[in-house]
Amino acid sequence: MAQFNLTVGRRVSLRNWHTARLLSALLLIGCDSLPRDSAGALERVSGGELRVGVAENPPWVHWQDGAVSGLEPELIESWAKSINARVLWRRGSEAELVEALNRRELDVMAAGLDSKTPYAAKLALTQPYVEVEERGKKKKHLLAVTPGESALLFALDRFLAAQDRDSLKRRALSLQRRAAP
């Protein structure tokens, strides 16, 4: 049987080489559209309804007279527009919204969460979209999505990564000053 040297200096038979190539091809076939959602959330919300839970946490999220405002709702509205989705807001406490995400009643949660949220083990968290100082400590803020919805998380992360970080930081600081007593 023919043999040849690999660059690492080991001799490999032609049969093993073909087997490795076949296995590689099969693995690639299975990776046609990664990441995937376990329940198809991104496909459902694109061109449809994005269910967003919000917990009061000024300046990140503020609820007044049935309307939501703040940096995170602004970001979510902009992202929803980019995927042609209509946002349906649901108000609740952080604990209630975490449970609603896990029951798949919500797609996204905005609550002024930071990277040290005690709910991290129960949520799929975006990468931090802004870092600001709050009460003398630097905090990295992020959003949460339904666990298992990897394509949804990836799409939101990609949107957040494309945002101008300096502009977001200025906007966050401006909102913080307005919310201060």
Please report the DSSP string for 28-88 in residue order. HHTTTT-S-BSS-HHHHHTTSEEEEEE--BTTTBEEETTEEESHHHHHHHHHHHHTT-EEE
Q: What is the pTM of this model?
A: 0.78
pLDDT of residue 26: 47
According to DSSP, the residues that pair with 132 across neighbouring strands are: 139
Tens of pLDDT, residue by residue over 94-152, are 999 999 999 999 999 999 999 999 999 999 999 999 999 888 899 999 999 998 888 89
Please report the DSSP string for 115-128 in residue order. TT-TTGGGSEEPPP
Separation CA 41–CA 177 (nearest Å): 36
Helix 150-161, helix 71-82: angle, nearest 10: 110
Other CB atoms within 10 Å distance of the CB of residue 101? 24
Phi, psi of 130 (to 5 degrees): -160, 150
Q: Tell me the CATH number of domain 41-179, given options 3.40.50.410, 3.40.190.10, 3.90.79.10, 3.30.60.50.
A: 3.40.190.10
Residue 15's pLDDT band (cuts 50, 70, 90)? low
Residue 37's pLDDT band (cuts 50, 70, 90)? low
pLDDT of residue 39: 61
Structure tokens at 87: 């946002």
Residue 28 predicted with pLDDT over 50: no
Buried-exposed string 45-64: b where 16+ CB fall within 10 A, e elsewhere: bbeeebbbbbbbbbbbbbbe
Residue 81 predicted with pLDDT over 50: yes
Residue 46 predicted with pLDDT over 90: yes
Q: In whole numbers, what is the pLDDT of the chain averaged over residues?
A: 84
According to DSSP, the residues that pair with 5 across neighbouring strands are: 11
Gap between the terminal Cα atoms of the chain: 81
Separation CA 159–CA 168 (nearest Å): 13
